[in-house]
Structure 1
Amino acid sequence: MPIGIIGAGAVGQALAVRFLAAGERVVVSDSRDPQRSRALADALGPGLTAATVEEAAVEEIVVLAVPWRRLREAVRAAESSDWQERIVVDTTNPLGPGHTPAELGGRPSSEVVAGLLPGARLVKAFNTLPPALLGADPRTPAGRRVIFLSGDHPGANGRIAGLVRRAGWAAVDLGPLAGGGRLQQFPGGPLATLELILRPGAEALLS
């Protein structure tokens, strides 16, 4: 099945490029600028389809790749009151206007996101690297770039870890959102913006 991406900005475009390179099919949407998703489909060719947010949101795996300030707008555009069994990948970072930290009331940002998506199996991933690195070849001469992920549903974590590996990255599962989500969160988390490379032959360390 295709991977749905909500958001055709820098993060959405970077992930679309890497997923397509891995042989995945992608459905991408942008509620604020539908022309941007159509232009992306024209540029990247077969395998990527421009769609509405509602169409992207019905896929089994849905990637939320929108700025924090537009998160609720994007969820509303999906027109879904029940995300049951869908895996939603949260790439967001809680930044408000002027890149100031959003007020979360002491909660991890993924807890806020999960509250907007009843029934979803939420996985936090792809939020610790800038778009330029996300879109670049994850295989470097020194090894593979690491993608951190966390979530409360081991099966969902495993599905996304498999996607990460197929695309060429190294996957590091940090476990539940309460701990792992805070480690990844930007700003504040110690893993945010950290570019790690897994050396060849070091995969056994992640087993």
Structure 2
Amino acid sequence: MSKSENKIASYAIIGFGNVGQALARAFARKGLEVSVATTREPESFASAAAAIGPTIIPKKLAEAVKADIIFLAVRFGSHPDVAKALPSWQGKTIIDVTNAYGVPPEELGGQPSSRVVAQAFTGGKLVKGFNHLAAAVLDQDPPVHGGKRVVFLASDDDGAATEISALAENLGFSPIKLGGLSEGGLLVQARGNSWGQLIFKDLIRFN
């Protein structure tokens, strides 16, 4: 039995820039509680969190990473600093919302950027997702003209992809699973001066 089946999962968003705040608003719209943290003290962004809604809880990074499901909404270059917050990420699912645009492929060892992130979060399950939409689009209410805004998910762990797919649906989005990080995942990853083919594609799905 997975964590999500025997208890309500807890959520955190690490990073509180435009993307982090857009994700926080998605939780607030559904009345779902989510911790938010940065490498700064929570007091520095508490008023911005309060302005979004009462279910957005500012925390210190060390507290926020206790959550079961963690959105990584920081600059790509900052992910190792977040990864150091715990010695092991066993039992946690990390949603990689970073984009490695401008990072030379050789710095990534020729790998998809999410693989590099996954290696930093030892023991955790990683899902690439929510990163293909510009922050201003992600910020909007996902139901559009009778359809729902699509979010793409890629993971080498089918169970984690299913778990985050259910969360995306709870937040009002229409998730589409792309398969593994090295296959479909490349469609939503940036590296060097190139963007994956699906990045910035704002699609609406009508069921």
TM normalised by structure 1 equals: 0.88
The residue aligned with 1:2 is 10
SS in 2 for 1:112: helix
Q: CA deviation at 1:30?
A: 1.2
Aligned equivalents of 1:195 and 1:101: distance in 2? Answer: 24
Aligned equivalents of 2:117 and 2:151: distance in 1? Answer: 20
Aligned equivalents of 2:63 and 2:152: distance in 1? Answer: 27
**Structure 1: which 5+ residue stretches go unaligned?**
202-207
Matched-pair identity in %: 39
Residues 1:189 and 2:196 aligned together = yes
Aligned equivalents of 1:118 and 1:155: distance in 2? Answer: 17
Aligned equivalents of 1:110 and 1:134: distance in 2? Answer: 20
8 Å Cα contact 1:6/1:29 also seen in 2: yes
8 Å Cα contact 1:30/1:36 also seen in 2: no
Decide which of 162, 174, 181 is 2:178's aligned counterpart.
174
8 Å Cα contact 1:146/1:195 also seen in 2: yes
Moved over 6 A (4+): none
SS in 2 for 1:122: strand
The residue aligned with 2:103 is 101
Decide which of 72, 88, 93 is 1:82's aligned counterpart.
88
Deviates more, 1:64-73 or 1:10-19: 64-73
Q: 1:36 to 1:2 in 2, by over 3 A?
A: farther
What value does the CA root-mean-square deviation take over the aligned residues?
1.5
Aligned equivalents of 1:41 and 1:137: distance in 2? Answer: 18
Q: CA deviation at 1:145?
A: 1.1
User: How many residues are treated as equivalent by the alignment?
Assistant: 194
8 Å Cα contact 1:19/1:167 also seen in 2: yes
**Structure 2: which 5+ residue stretches go unaligned?**
1-8
Amino acid at match of 1:18: A
Q: CA deviation at 1:63?
A: 0.7
Decide which of 133, 141, 163 is 2:167's aligned counterpart.
163
Decide which of 2, 13, 31 is 2:39's aligned counterpart.
31
TM normalised by structure 2 equals: 0.88
Q: CA deviation at 1:34?
A: 3.5
Decide which of 21, 27, 47 is 2:55's aligned counterpart.
47
Aligned equivalents of 1:11 and 1:166: distance in 2? Answer: 18
